Amino acid sequence: MKKPADASELGPLQLIILVLSFVALGALVVELVVVVPPEAHRLFRWIDNLVCIFFYMISWSVSGTPNRNCSS
């Protein structure tokens, strides 16, 4: 029988979300602190858009799943 997941354990999806969050925040900080050329600005926008699309897809796929916290 499978042991229930502990809330303190990071699964692969949570790790990916954490890394992508830091990538998006890092790109935002670099763009705000350093004067970047237009090509780098465009690259940061693409990275941000891809991360947002990934998060949207995850939230859309999770929204249809039943609530695991329900005890009934």
Is 52 inside any structural domain? yes
The structure tokens listed for 5 are 């997941």
The pLDDT assigned to 13 comes to: 85
Q: Is the pLDDT of residue 70 over 80?
A: no
Is 1 inside any structural domain? no
Number of structural domains in the chain = 1
The pLDDT assigned to 60 comes to: 83
Reported confidence tier of residue 3, pLDDT bands at 50, 70, 90? low
The pLDDT assigned to 34 comes to: 92
Q: Is the pLDDT of residue 64 over 70?
A: yes
Cβ contacts of 40 within 8 Å, gap of 6 or more: 31
**Contact assessment for residue 44 and residue 32, using Cβ atoms and an 8 Å cutoff:** no
pLDDT digit string, tens, across residues 10-63? 788 889 989 999 998 998 899 899 999 999 999 989 988 999 999 998 888 877
Is 50 inside any structural domain? yes
Domain encompassing residue 43: 36-61
The structure tokens listed for 63 are 């929204």
Is 57 inside any structural domain? yes
The structure tokens listed for 28 are 């935002």
Q: Which residue blocks in 1-72 are alpha helix, DSSP H?
A: 12-33, 38-63
Is 70 inside any structural domain? no
